[in-house]
Amino acid sequence: MDAATEEAVAAGAAAGILGGMFVFFAIFGLIFFVLLVIAYWKMFTKAGVEGWKSIIPVYNTYTLYKLVWNVQNFWIYLGLTIVTYLFSGINSDGSNVFLSILTVVAGIALLVWIVRANIATAKAYGKGTGFAVGLTLLPNIFTLILGFGDARYVGPQEA
């Protein structure tokens, strides 16, 4: 076998390995996504809300805020999200220092708001602050635990 043939075989093997890895991770990601959809569905039904509301983007977050906190806090979350992404998009090259500072401030405020929402979610499902830390650091895993675990919806609690 000459050098060109060996290189072609090696390139084909590498492409096959990369393709196999892509398929594996795509299937794993799809399965995990489906499990998350089911977990959110179960979280909503535990709270007495129709499960289909969990699969509509933005509306699912609105409904979750309504269940665990209040609707006004959802509008603050949505506003902070829009402002953060708008400022970061407008100032994507970082040339405007003022917009950079506003982006960082809005991003920190959004992070604080997400942590507060996670605390409210944990408490509304009868869990403590430690569980809220898990929802913040590993949201998908702890959402699966809320959906498939023994958590019971107890309603909004004082955060």
In a domain, residue 122? The reply is yes
* 95-129 pLDDT tens trace: 888 888 888 899 999 999 999 999 999 999 999 99
Instruction: State the pTM of this model.
Output: 0.81
Range of the domain at 44: 3-148
In a domain, residue 108? The reply is yes
In a domain, residue 95? The reply is yes
In a domain, residue 155? The reply is no
In a domain, residue 53? The reply is yes
- Rounded CA-CA distance 124/41 in Å is 16
In a domain, residue 69? The reply is yes
* Total count of domains within the chain: 1
pLDDT over threshold 70, residue 159: no
In a domain, residue 159? The reply is no
In a domain, residue 30? The reply is yes
- Rounded CA-CA distance 90/100 in Å is 10
